[in-house]
Amino acid sequence: MIRLLLIERPKTAHMQFMRYFFVGGTAAVVDLLVYTVLLKYAGFHYASAAFVGYMLGLAWNHLLCIYWVFESKHHRSKEVMMVFLIALGGLLWTWGILYALISLFGVDEVIAKMISQIIVLLWNFGMRKVYVFH
């Protein structure tokens, strides 16, 4: 049972989502930590901090996904390109949400980032599940 839960690749979308949720959670911590440090301590603008944090979180997420969550159905180069395009979409969502929440509604920058992460999680899982992995 432990082997099925923790080691073998999941066969059902439900188990894939549970693992992706865990992987996404750890990637979100990486993303949020980098974003906050760059924003609060290095003086970055929220858009630049979001870019760096998102990309580092994405790299962490992708590595764990290919080894623990999904099975690839494409050649590695095609897979990387597809993940990059999906990530670009996620980054655009992130920037749009941050702009709306911070600039238009005055939400705290870190709270706005957390909200964007929840929305972008759904985007990333759905797009990867449908287009990149099975």
For residue range 106-133, what is the model confidence (pLDDT) as tens digits?
Answer: 999 999 999 999 999 889 888 988 888 7
The amino acid present at 83, given as its one-letter code, is V
Alpha carbon separation from 47 to 53, 72, 87, 106, 116 (Å, rounded): 10, 31, 15, 15, 12
Query: What is the pLDDT averaged over residues 52-73?
Result: 86
Confirm whether 2 is domain-assigned: no
Confirm whether 47 is domain-assigned: yes
Least confident residue range of 52-56, 62-66, 68-72, 98-102: 68-72
Confirm whether 5 is domain-assigned: no
Residue 113 CB contacts under 8 Å (≥ 6 apart), including other chains: 31, 32, 35, 36, 46, 50, 53, 94, 98
Residue with tokens 């494409």: 74
pLDDT value at 57 more than 90: yes
pTM (two decimals): 0.82
Confirm whether 19 is domain-assigned: yes
Beta-bridge mates of residue 133: 72
Alpha helices in 75-108 (DSSP H): 76-98
Domain of residue 41 covers 12-132
Average model confidence (pLDDT) across the chain: 88
pLDDT value at 103 more than 80: yes
User: What domain count does the chain have?
Assistant: 1
